[in-house]
Structure 1
């Protein structure tokens, strides 16, 4: 049986950092027997030589001999051997506490690398909104697939709200509110929207100053019924408008083309119309008012086999969208 003192208090991050620095300085100047030190920490953690033999599969005699070699290398007595087992000396207690932190961090790092390599393989089937997928998400997946050739990726582009479970998807990205309480989800972006129209359209419908002015002029949307535009100005005043939809299409890229052609006013994500605004093909309408942004959310089921892969892809989606917004 091995006896060592147990401290109930949890070390602060600063204390742990100091321990690691001291261990590193000591190690670099006088020490080279890392295997022996690792076995020493295993012996202490197991509670003695016999228990360490069971835990590691290394014979008790070998463990004892390596412990003696470590003591000789350090020229310090680390344990006292008694009839009941071994007891840590003060120097042994100090060495254990400081070296355990370093080995624990090393083991975590190795385990994480091994798990990462094992996890980033396999098949993943995704359903993505067509427009944002074409602009951002698909290029992310292409780069991801190039870095991880053991991952097989299948993408389906769909405007409709697919059923992740019933249709067999591993990961779904949705625009708008999320109501699937049984799924794991992460909001990966909040996309600003703007009201836009062509210069010719605005010339034909001059005098637009307030949200109420939008009610009776042609508008574009992904459907013709149940359309609401929630607007807010810089003073925090809000307005909800039910526009008169004259042209509907379930692809927002079509709505961009329709707006450029002068068919009406559109309420669209900024990333879709940025180029047209820069070129002058479209102009912002009611610049004092901003439509409510659209939330983009990733949803998936808890799965210990594919969970790491899914989270890695979702993180890359979020990073790409963040970088895209930051570059503007």
Structure 2
């Protein structure tokens, strides 16, 4: 039997199959579609079998292609992990990592952490994108994504970074004009601020374990919490904001707590990444950096 030698081509085939198409594989590997297509064709010629069918939406594995993918993918994952294990720390913490981060959280906390990380590990290349939309790691070629809120089971690796406490706040002037507020139900009748106008339910819990749901009237919406802070300071309404965003405004007296005996439910912050990335050790180091920073804040 002829000895098989095109293991690079086989590795690229696995990446193409995982991505579901040449364009997505180009984004995740940085290798051009033309090169990927040429290597895929060469692999098919070497094996003398057709591995994929090309469609307008991407590629579909043939029966032979699916069999090859199923039997070789785990072996390549083990090989990548073996290589990462024998590298020294400096070599392992190198390479490029593409991140998608929530804008406000990145500006306040995560970006400064990444700057410090880059200073300690100059061989690491940080490629950071800030955005609120939920990106696809595989299709858009991201290595690490941080999301706020609940995370559905997606087959990705994930780690909860922190549970961020939140507080209801408003300006002193606003509170002076709404001195009638005594219970959560009173919040239904006053102006409120939120990141979306359809985000109209707040879950509240008191210190003695009582719970309440309120549906405030959202009169001002913006998908940046920094803007909501300024709107609250200007007296436009009550805002439900993470504590780390409003510490300075509370300390200066620009904002005060609303119904301080009641706290909104915290928001979960989660990191997600692909389990078979060669950059896995680097990604885990960054996630650990994020987790430790929020543990210190608590």
Please indicate, yes or no, whether the TM-score normalized by the shorter chain is above 0.5. Answer: yes
1:285: Cα distance to partner? 0.3
Deviations 1:149-202 (A, max 9, x none): 111111111112222222211000011000142111000011100000000001
Gaps of 5+ in 1: 1-110
Q: What residue is the counterpart of 1:130 in the other structure?
A: 103
Q: What residue is the counterpart of 1:54 in the other structure?
A: none
- Within the candidate set 269, 277, 294, 2:267 is matched to 294
Q: Give the number of aligned pairs.
A: 215
> Structure 1: how far apart are the matches of 2:135 and 2:241?
22
Checking the alignment, whether the CA contact within 8 Å between 1:184 and 1:301 is kept in structure 2 is yes
Checking the alignment, whether the CA contact within 8 Å between 1:116 and 1:308 is kept in structure 2 is no
Q: What is the Cα-based RMSD across aligned positions, in Å?
A: 1.4
Equivalent position SS for 1:255: helix
- Within the candidate set 289, 295, 298, 1:316 is matched to 289
Consecutive aligned runs of 4 or more in structure 1 exceeding 4 Å deviation: none
> Structure 2: how far apart are the matches of 1:179 and 1:115?
35
Superposition pairs of residues 192-231 of structure 1, within 5 angstroms: 192-231=165-204
Q: What residue is the counterpart of 2:137 in the other structure?
A: 164
Gaps of 5+ in 2: 1-83
Checking the alignment, whether the CA contact within 8 Å between 1:136 and 1:321 is kept in structure 2 is no
Superposition pairs of residues 249-264 of structure 1, within 5 angstroms: 249-264=222-237
Superposition pairs of residues 258-273 of structure 1, within 5 angstroms: 258-273=231-246
1:304: Cα distance to partner? 4.5
Q: What residue is the counterpart of 1:238 in the other structure?
A: 211
Superposition pairs of residues 1-328 of structure 1, within 5 angstroms: 114-325=87-298
Deviations 1:278-303 (A, max 9, x none): 00000000011000001100000012
Equivalent position SS for 1:177: coil
Larger RCO of the pair (alpha carbons < 8 Å, separation 6+): 2
1:259: Cα distance to partner? 0.2
Per the normalisation by structure 2, the TM-score is 0.70
1:112: Cα distance to partner? 6.0
